[in-house]
Amino acid sequence: MSARPVRLAIASPDEAVAAGLRQMLARQGHRVLVVEAEGGPADVVLHDADGPGAEGRDVVLRRTGATGWVPLRVGVEQIVLMVEAAAAPTEPVEIGHGLSAREVQVLALIAAGLTNQEIADRVFVSINSVKTYVRSAYRKIGVNSRSQAAVWGLQHGLVDRD
C-alpha cells in the first residue's frame, strides 16, 4: 500500500450509484481519496463496465490520467482492495509458471469484472469449462475467491490499464 491514499474517480452514469459509492468510500479515506471524474488527476477509475455509458470509460481514463479501472460489482472492501491493486506496480505473468494460456485468459476476464457466463460467451466454451479453468487457476495462484483472483490479476498485469 502506498504512503498516500489512492486517488479514485467514480465514473457512473447513475448519479445515485456514484453518490452512494462516495458515501461508502468516505469511511476508507486513509486508503482511498475520491476525486472528481471530470478532470482531476486520478490513479484508478471505478466504472460500471456493463452499465449505460460504459463506452465512456476510456474517455474518463484519459481525462483523469488513471492507470486502471475497477468494476462496480463487488462490496466496499473488495472495491478498496481492487483499487489499491490497480494502482500498484504490476508483476508480469509468464504462462510458464503453472498457468495455461486459457487460465491466464480466464483470470484476466475475472479481473476485468466478467461473470462466468460472460467469460464462456466471450471465449466460446461452456460454462462448465469456465468453472474448471477457474478452479484450476485459483489452486495454482493460491486464492479462494473471485475478488482475490481479481486482485491477483490486477497485481500481475492481466488487465490492460490503458
Percent of residues in the chain assigned helix, strand, coil, to nearest 5: 50, 10, 40
CATH numbers and ranges of domains, the chain: 6-87 (3.40.50.2300), 101-155 (1.10.10.10)
> pLDDT > 70: what percent of the chain?
70
Instruction: For the chain, report the end-to-end CA distance as a whole number of angstroms.
Output: 21
What residues contact residue 158 under an 8 Å CB cut-off, 6+ apart?
A: 93, 104, 107, 108, 111
pLDDT, tens digit (0-9, with 9 covering 90-100), for 59-76: 666 666 665 666 666 677
Q: Which three cell numbers stand for residue 78?
A: 473488495
pLDDT, tens digit (0-9, with 9 covering 90-100), for 74-89: 677 777 777 777 676 6
Decide which of 52 and 14 is more confident. Answer: 14
pLDDT, tens digit (0-9, with 9 covering 90-100), for 15-59: 888 888 888 888 888 888 888 876 668 888 777 655 545 555 566
pTM, full prediction: 0.50
CA dihedral 65, 35, 19, 109 (to 10 degrees): 30
> Quick check: 42 and 7 in contact, CB under 8 A?
yes
Strands 44-47 and 32-35: unpaired
